[in-house]
Structure 1
């Protein structure tokens, strides 16, 4: 599958917590071979709070809302993510419950990097895997700092 639109969305997203791996065009082609493409309809739940899922998601097209259940009234929505956003990065680092729900606000195209495929990438092309982990870790650290300032859990 052609992931050109995904790479372009990631490279052009202008947010403080953007995913910024330092990959050249060939490395992007290698990386995207380990992803699977999924289409979501408006209202579909991509991530369910409390589930154990070791998947990193990359949003090519559409908008996703990140929210928690069981919190204080009015404090349930954490973020709205748009094309180029990456989410679920804690799943690359640890096996723990998801901290939030992620729902499609519009029809979306997402790409999934499941842990077994990431481990395969790490074994075959370690320099690409290390760069993906570095960028995901930097993004996760930025989000954790921002959420601590707002006293909101991470997705």
Structure 2
């Protein structure tokens, strides 16, 4: 990050004031070559910004082996899940070279976010974009691998899209009261009914906002001929389309109704108006976005790990 004059590319969107505030709330860290920064399953408590050196991210796969997922170089971040979700570390991070940089405490970040800190809110937006971009990369790897567990395959159903619903959205949303502002969110969108097999979104589609599942379930999968390799299942309270909404890219997977479902469509213009109006429950909505993005990335990483493990097994069988 050189003279730390500006935020790294992975934190694009932070203005100079927010970047300087982040630096003022960070501490230095250093780890020697071969040392582990944190292990899979550890309590997640901080975000790391690498200034010099090289880190590798590896996740456990079936057989108690580790598969290297990616590398973290100067100017890049690792451990961002800690600021968006309170779950354990999803992978091991080890130093390939002597590495140093800055560390931001998750507890400190969340306290400032609760107080409405401007830089913390900007950082939250940037981290959601980063997690979404990493999920997209993982999904692209899953598509390219071509090795999949037969148990993940489902019969491919792809029919007409959702249609307007006559149900009462407020009644359907009552069971999701844990999501603060759910009543206002539902009223801001259009209630749709998706019959089993209805196509909610296709790979490559340009996204227009999000869908919120109120009843039923929606499946996100990779088409594999007449079958579909299931990666995610979204139930009541889950948002569909968060990856594209957060990183601005197209829909990465085929999204269909796994069973009859009731969805609220929140167009991009509606979501932009919510951001501009900044209702008091908006931080809670942002937190829900962050948690689900992290959960989706964890699921995608596990799915990729199984694919890599299957590829190794098949390769070993060919050699034998």
TM-score band by shorter chain is: 0.7 to 0.9
SS in 1 for 2:94: strand
Q: How does 1:1-155 map to 2 (within 5 A)?
A: 5=2, 7=4, 10-11=7-8, 18-24=10-16, 26-71=17-62, 76-122=67-113, 126-151=117-142, 153=301
Gaps of 5+ in 1: none
SS in 2 for 1:95: coil
- Of structures 1 and 2, the larger Rg is shown by 2
Give the whole-Å Cα distance in 1 for the aligned partners of 2:46 and 2:127: 12
- TM-score normalised over the length of structure 2: 0.41
C-alpha contact 1:65 1:81 (8 A) present in aligned 2: yes
Give the whole-Å Cα distance in 1 for the aligned partners of 2:63 and 2:7: 33
Give the whole-Å Cα distance in 1 for the aligned partners of 2:94 and 2:103: 15
Give the whole-Å Cα distance in 2 for the aligned partners of 1:125 and 1:30: 14
Which deviates more from structure 2 when the two are superposed, residues 103-112 or residues 26-35?
26-35
C-alpha contact 1:34 1:121 (8 A) present in aligned 2: no
After superposition, give the CA deviation of every residue in 1:56-94 in whole Å (9 maximum; x if it has no partner).
111111110111233479970111111011111111111
SS in 2 for 1:103: strand
Give the whole-Å Cα distance in 1 for the aligned partners of 2:38 and 2:127: 18
Which deviates more from structure 2 when the two are superposed, residues 123-132 or residues 90-99?
123-132
- TM-score normalised over the length of structure 1: 0.80
C-alpha deviation, 1:97, in angstroms? 1.8
Give the whole-Å Cα distance in 1 for the aligned partners of 2:4 and 2:116: 18
Give the whole-Å Cα distance in 1 for the aligned partners of 2:125 and 2:98: 30
Over the residues paired in the alignment, what is the CA RMSD in angstroms?
2.6
Gaps of 5+ in 2: 143-299, 303-320
- Rate the CA distance shift 1:126–1:149 in 2: closer, same or farther, 3 A: same
